[in-house]
Amino acid sequence: MTTSTGRAHLAHQPPTVWIRYEDNKDPLRELPLSELRLADFDGTVPWRQVRSVKGLDHFSGKYASMTTGGHVVYESQLELARLLLADFDPQVRHIYAQPCRVVARVDGKTRHHVPDFLLITGSGTVQVVNVKPAELLADPKIAQALAWPGELIRQHGWAYEIWSGDDPALLKNVRFLAAYRRPGVVPTEEIDLAWETVQDGEQLASAEHRLAKALDRELHEARPPILSLVWAGRLSTDLTLPLSGEWILRRSR
């Protein structure tokens, strides 16, 4: 049983971690959690294979991440939302989906858990993320299933997050901006010109008028280069506000 705070009773038996690799000769490796290092995730693949099956009430797939330069799997729309935020975050340098399986003795039983994501920042901070709808977190069984991995991860010196969503406008804007994440979607020369012309603190509408004139294009054709800069983090704005010409643009320092 868990306590009123949702903490699980962990046995003294050292927990272990199983990791799956691309190496066909040695695809599975086990090591003590206490010995786990970031280098152990080099050449790994997600713990589970993700398939889309007609008729299921969840949506899974593969997201083309600009952070990793490859595909990252997800098993629900909520996971995809968290994945988009991680890919948009300039501090995040690598994303692993289903990075491992953690095995530990909890409340007298052997428990298994596969985290949803492992995020690594440029400063070396490591964050393990589990994604779960808010309405399910009140279930004691689910609370326990998420509590004991968190205790172990924090004891290991890594951060732990249970994510249930964010501001709807923010998520909508990041989802929209992700359309401009791929190189070549907007010509590089147009993005460079947008960077030269956008002034710090001006509204999006004003920046679009100036860029359209510089490009000798229609007004609506000036927005994609600017939004590409927002996705790249070179320009920032308050993404909790709906997309409009009133967005205030800030140049990165």
Whole-number pLDDT of residue 23:
81
Gyration radius of the chain's alpha carbons: 22
Q: Which of 134, 125, 122, 132 lies closest to 153 in space, CA to CA?
A: 125
176-187 confidence digits (pLDDT tens): 999 999 999 999
- 168-251: in CATH 1.10.10: yes
- Dig out the tokens for 107 from the structure: 């409340």
Structure tokens at 238: 């308050």
From CA 179, how far away is CA 196, in angstroms rounded? 22
Domain extents in the chain: 16-163, 168-251
80's enclosing H/E stretch is helix 77-88
Look at residue 8 in the predicted model and tell me its pLDDT.
59
What confidence score (pLDDT) does residue 11 get?
A: 55
> Long-range pairs for 82-85 at CB < 8 Å and ≥24 separation?
82/116, 82/117, 82/129, 82/131, 82/163, 83/117, 84/171, 84/174, 84/175, 84/178, 85/166, 85/171, 85/174
Can you list the residues of the chain whose pLDDT is less than 50? 1-6
CATH architecture of 16-163: 3-Layer(aba) Sandwich (3.40)
**pLDDT number for residue 4:** 32
Unique residue bearing structure tokens 């993320």: 129
Taking each helix axis from N to C terminus, what angle separates 204-215 and 188-197, rounded to the nearest 10 degrees?
120
